[in-house]
Structure 1
Amino acid sequence: MIVRAPGKLVLSGAYAVLEGAPALVAAVDRYVLADPARPAPLVTDEVQAAIDAGALDRAVWFDASALRASAPAGAPAAASRKLGLGSSAAILVATLAARAAAAATTRTTAAAAVGQPAPAWDARALFLDALAAHRRAQGGGSGVDVAASVQGGVLCCRLGPGGALDVAPHALPGELAVEVFASDAAARTSDMLERVRALAARDPAAHRALLGAAAEGATAAVAAADARALVAALDRQVDALAELGDRAGAPIVTPALRRLRPAAAAEGASLAPSGAGGGDVSIFVGAAPPSAAFLEAARAAGLERVPMSLGAPGVHVLDAARPPATPHVSQV
C-alpha cells in the first residue's frame, strides 16, 4: 500500500499570511511516496514531533526525491537539495496517511463482513495532527504547506484566532500561465523569518508598513478576476517584500530575481519568490508562458525551469492495480 502526498507552491501571501492576510497556495504534481510496510530511512523532525505527540506510532519509508533537485553529475545522491516545495510537510502528511491506511486495512476487513467499509483516514483529523506536529517542529508557521498536501488543489488560506487555519478552494483566473524556476541559491525559512522578526523588534513602524503593503497585494491577488490583475497584485507584494528583505538583511528577493523582473514585466508577467524567498523556487505568472528570450535570460542568471502542474490532488492511496512510476526527479 503506497500513499503519496503532493508538494506545494505558494503563489501569494508570503510573510503577510502570518499577519492575517490571505495566502494562495497550490498543490503540485510532485509527490512524496510513503510505504508503511518498509522501515524509515530516517525520521524527520516533523515526523518525530507527531510521534512524540502520540499522533503517530512510528515512522515509515518515504521517497521525497521528486521534491528535490538532482545531485550534480558524479556527486552522491545526498548532494541533492530541497526545491522549496514543502517537502517536510509532504513527508509528514504522507507518513501519517500511510500509517492510518495500514491500520484501516484491518478495520476494513472486519467491516466488509457487515457491508460497512471503513475509510482510510479522517481528513480533518489528519490535517490537525499534521499541522500541530509541523508547527511544533518548526517553531510556528502558517501551515499552508500542510493544507496543500492534505487537501490538494488551489487553496486560499487565512490564519484566524488562536492560530486556526481557515482553508477554502480557490479558482485562479483563466488564461493564466505559471512557470516555476529553481536556482542553486537557498535559504532556510526559519532563518529568514528570524531576521524579519528581528526587524519588527528593531523598527516596528517599518515592519508594519511593509507587511501592510504586502497584505494589500495579497488581498488583491485573491480578488483578481484576470491575469493582469493578479500580476499587478503580485508585483505589489514583491516590491514590499524586496524592501522588507533589504531592511531585515534577508535576501527575500534575490539579485537574480531583481535583474529579471523588468524582462518579465515586458512580457506582462510578474516574477516573484515563492514562499519565504532567498532562492529555492520562484514563479513567473502571466497571461502567456515566458518567451524563449526570457528563458535564456533566466538560464544566464542561474535559474532553470522546473516542469510541474498546479492543482494536484491531495494525499491519497495509489491504485493497488497500478504500481507507482519511478518518481520524477528535477534535472535542474
Structure 2
Amino acid sequence: MIVRAPGKLVLSGAYAVLEGAPALVAAVDRYVLADPERPAEHETEEVRAAIAAGALDRAVWFDASALRAEQPAAAGGVGGEGGTERRASRKLGIGSSAAILVATLAARAHRAGAPAGAPAWDAARIFADALAAHRRAQGGGSGVDVAASVYGGVLCCRLAPGGDLAAAPHALPAGLVIEVFASESSARTSAMLERVRALAAREPEVHRALLGAAAEGASAAVVAADVGAFVAALDRQVDALAALGDRAGAPIVTPELRRLRRVAAAEGAAFAPSGAGGGDVALFVGGAPPSAALLAAARASRLEREVMSIGAPGVHVLDAARPPHA
C-alpha cells in the first residue's frame, strides 16, 4: 500500500499571510510517496517532531524525488524513461517537507486500519498533527503547505491571531494560466523570514506599511473576478515584496524576476516569486501561455519551465493499478 501527498505552490499572500492576510495555495501533481511496510531510509526533522509529540509511532520509507528539478544526466548516467538519461538535481521549493510529513502520518494512520466503508483516515486530525509538528520543526510558519498536502485543490487560507489556520476551497478566475519556472538559485525560507523579522524590529513602520500593501494585494486576489484583476492584484503584491526585500536585505524578488516582470507585463501577465521568494520557483500568471520571447528571456535568466498542474488531490492511497508517479 502506497500513500502519496502533493507538493504546493503559493500563488498569492506570501509573507502577508503571517499578518492575517488571506493566502492562495495550490496543490500540484508532484507527489511524495510513502510506504508504511518499508523501513525508513531517512527521517526528517518534521517527522521527528511528530514522533516526539506522540502523533506518530515511527518513520516510514518515502520517495520525494518527484519534488526535485531534473536535468540531463552526465555522460554514463543512469538511463530514464524512453532511454533519456536524467537525474534528480536539486530540491524545488514546493513544500517537500510538509508533503513528506503528511504522507507519513497518513500512511501510518491507514495502516492502523479503518472500518469497511469508512474514510482511510481523519483528514482534520492529520492536518492538526502535521501543522503542529511542521511548526515545531521549523520554528513557526503559516502552515499553508501542510493544508495543501492534506486537502489538495486550490485553497484560500487565513491565519487567526491564535495560530489556527483556516483553509477553504477557492475557485480561481476562469481562463487563468499559471506556468511554473525554476532556477538553480535558492534561499532558505527561514533565513528570509529572519531578515524580514529583523526589519520589523529595526523599522517597524516601514515593515508595517510594506506588508500592509502586500496584504491589500492578497485580499484583492481573493476577490478577483477575472484574469486582469488577478494579475493586477499579484503585481501589487510583488511591488510590495520587492520593496520589502530591498529594505530587509532579503532577495525576495531577484534581479532575474524583475527583468522577467517587464517582459510578462507586455503580455498582460505577471511574473512573481512563489512563496518566500529567493529565485528558486517563480510563476507566470496571465490569460494565455507565455510567448516564445518570454520563454527565451527566462532561459537567458537560467529559469526553466517545470511542467506541473495545479489543483491536485490531497493525500490519498495510490491506486495499485496505476504507476507510482501517475
TM-score by length of structure 1 reads 0.93
Q: Does 1:83 align with 2:82?
A: no
Task: Quote the residue 2:52 is aligned against.
Answer: 52
1:188-207 alignment to 2 at 5 Å? 188-207=188-207
1:117 and 1:180 mapped to 2: Cα distance? 38
- Residue deviations 1:282-307, cap 9 Å, x none? 00000101011110110011100000
Any gaps of 5 or more consecutive residues in structure 2? 79-85
Matched, 1:123 2:112: no
Aligned match of 2:264: 264
Query: 1:73: Cα distance to partner?
Result: 2.6
The residue type equivalent to 1:95 in the other structure is T
1:1-332 to structure 2, matched below 5 A, reads 1-70=1-70, 73-74=73-74, 80-104=89-113, 107-108=114-115, 116-320=116-320, 322-325=321-324, 327=325
Flag the 1:138–1:78 CA change in 2: closer, same or farther, 3 A: farther
**Is contact 1:156–1:169 with CA below 8 Å preserved after alignment?**
yes
Look up the equivalent residue of 1:324 and give its one-letter code: P
- In the alignment, residue 178 of structure 1 is paired with which amino acid? I
Would you say the 8 A contact 2:3–2:315 is kept in 1?
A: yes
Give me the TM-score of the superposition, normalised by structure 2.
Answer: 0.94
Query: Would the aligned equivalents of 1:72 and 1:80 in 2 still touch at CA under 8 Å?
Result: no
* C-alpha distance in 2 between matches for 1:319 and 1:264: 40
Distance 1:43 1:78, change over 3 A: farther
Q: Following the alignment from structure 1 to structure 2, what is the Cα–Cα distance between the partners of residues 198 and 82?
A: 27
Distance in 2, Cα, partners of 1:20 & 1:165: 10
For the residues of structure 2 that align with 1:4 and 1:95, how far apart are their CA atoms? 9
How far does residue 199 in structure 1 lie from its aligned partner after superposition?
0.4
Query: What stretches of structure 1 move > 6 A for 4+ residues in a row?
Result: 75-79
Give the residue type in structure 2 aligned to 1:82: K
Alignment-mate amino acid for residue 245 of structure 1 = G
Aligned to 1:112: none
SS at match of 1:161: coil
Displacement after TM superposition at 1:161 (Å) = 2.7
Q: Shift in Å at residue 118 of structure 1? A: 4.0
Task: Give the deviation of 1:69 after TM superposition.
Answer: 1.3
**Aligned Cα RMSD in Å?**
1.5
- Cα distance between partner residues in 2 of 1:22 and 1:224: 13
SS in 2 for 1:163: coil
- Output one character per residue of 1:92-141: Cα deviation in whole Å (capped at 9) or x when no partner: 0000000011111xx54xxxxxxx54432101001000000000000000
Whole-Å separation in 1 of the counterparts to 2:119 and 2:257? 45
1:24/1:157 contact within 8 Å kept: yes
Distance 1:141 1:78, change over 3 A: farther
Q: Which residue of 2 aligns with 1:111?
A: none
Shift of the alpha carbon at 1:258?
0.6
Consecutive unaligned residues in structure 1, runs of 5 or more: 109-115
Q: Distance in 2 between matches of 1:197 and 1:46?
A: 23
In the alignment, the residues of structure 1 paired with residue 100 and residue 87 of structure 2 have an alpha-carbon distance, to the nearest angstrom, of 17
